Amino acid sequence: MAYLTVTDGVKQFTGFRALNGVSISVERGEFFTLLGPSGCGKTTLLRAIAGFNDLTSGSIMLDGQDLRAIPPHKRDIGMVFQDYAVFPHLSVFDNVAFGLKPRKVPAEQIKTRVAEALSAVHLQALAERLPAAMSGGQQQRIGLARAMVINPRLLLMDEPLSNLDAKLRIELREEIRDIQKRVDIATIYVTHDQEEALAISDRICVMSAGHIEQIGTPQEIYGNPQTLFVANFVGTLNTLADGEGRAKLLAELGISANAAHWTIRPERLSLLEAGQGAPSGAVALAGTISKFTYLGREAHVLVDTPAGALVVQVSNPALGAVRTPGEAVSVLVERSALMAFDADSKRLSL
């Protein structure tokens, strides 16, 4: 039995079904991320677990206990929000101690526990400061310390990094991941940022329009997407245009499957000089460069081919390795890189 399970969770708002039969299970100490576009129901699911918003139907069990029967403040769940929700008139220490007061923790213990929580988020030196003058990253560390200090049974985080700038976001996500592994508290983390989800999670649950598309490790989600939605949302995709060029390419690769959508990731394609041959299990598709986009650590080369316009991602493009529109090239397509999906957008095995 998993530590936390949500089974057949449904949330019906007036005129809108935000969760349509969602089931997840989270293990002890696991970092579990809900990933999906805006409006897919991530926050609704998180709030149902926290108890801010009850489900319409379905069950939520934590460590063998029916959570829906317990009021939010008795669930022992720590929560971190997008807007830091710190009290500006309270010192960093008092902000973190805040959650312990109603729990009737003796003053001496409050001191030790707050000190521990502040040291975990590297804020011990600032305990007496007021948060107003602190950076967004520091304020979010206060939020994290406050959520952890109660020794929660579960840590819930709703887009905690989205108000921070890109560089700090990367720094703090590494820190959150390290802290979570150290304190070993099962964590459910909400984000719409794919890269963040891949970097921080043990497992990712990809959601769309109130349902779950796929649950898996970052490697499974990115490397073995089970639906077209997941393949598109986590990473980028080329789609082969329906037509003779595609049919010929598939035939040359020895693929006879029938599929509605044929896709390939830009980083799984590479460029060959025009006329260069392909090794077995691959095809050299003749084409013409129509666009070159230099992005520093990679470049995107758009190539018009008989199977449609394909983006080829070139890693570490050498200085001066500019490709000019109009240039004739070949695109190396490996059989193993093709992903096929049926008309319902479900992955087909090849």
Residues lying near ligand ATP in the complex (CB under 6 A) are found at 13, 16, 18, 36, 38-44, 192
Choice between 210 and 287, CB closer to ligand ATP: 210
DSSP string, 59-93: EEEETTEEGGGS-GGGS-EEEE-SS----TTS-HH
In whole angstroms, give the CA distance from residue 235 to residue 31. Answer: 21
CB atoms within 10 A of CB 152: 19
Count of C-beta atoms within a 10 Å radius of residue 130: 16
Cα–Cα distance for residue pair 263/253, rounded to 1 Å: 14
What does 231-281 look like in DSSP terms, one character per residue? HHHSS--EEPPSSHHHHHHHHHTT-----SEEEE-GGG-EEEETT----TT
| Min dist. Cβ of residue 41 to ligand ATP (A) | 4
Residue nearer to ligand ATP on the CB measure, 18 or 307: 18
Nearer CB in complex with ligand ATP: 41/317: 41
**In the structure encoding, which two tokens stand for residue 313, read together?**
């991602």
Is the distance from CB of 199 to CB of 28 less than 8 angstroms? no
Measured from the CB atom, the residue of 36 and 308 that comes closer to ligand ATP is: 36
Tell me how far, at minimum, the Cβ of 44 lies from ligand ATP, in Å.
3
Judged by beta carbon, residue 42 or residue 323, the one nearer ligand ATP is 42
Provide the minimum distance between the beta carbon of 81 and ligand ATP in the complex, in angstroms, as a whole number: 11
Least distance from C-beta 16 to ligand ATP, angstroms? 4
CB of 49 to ligand ATP, least distance (A): 12
The distance of closest approach from Cβ of residue 203 to ligand ATP in the complex, given in angstroms and rounded to an integer, is 18
Return d(Cα 164, Cα 137) in angstroms, integer: 7
Output 187 or 238, the one with its CB closest to ligand ATP: 187
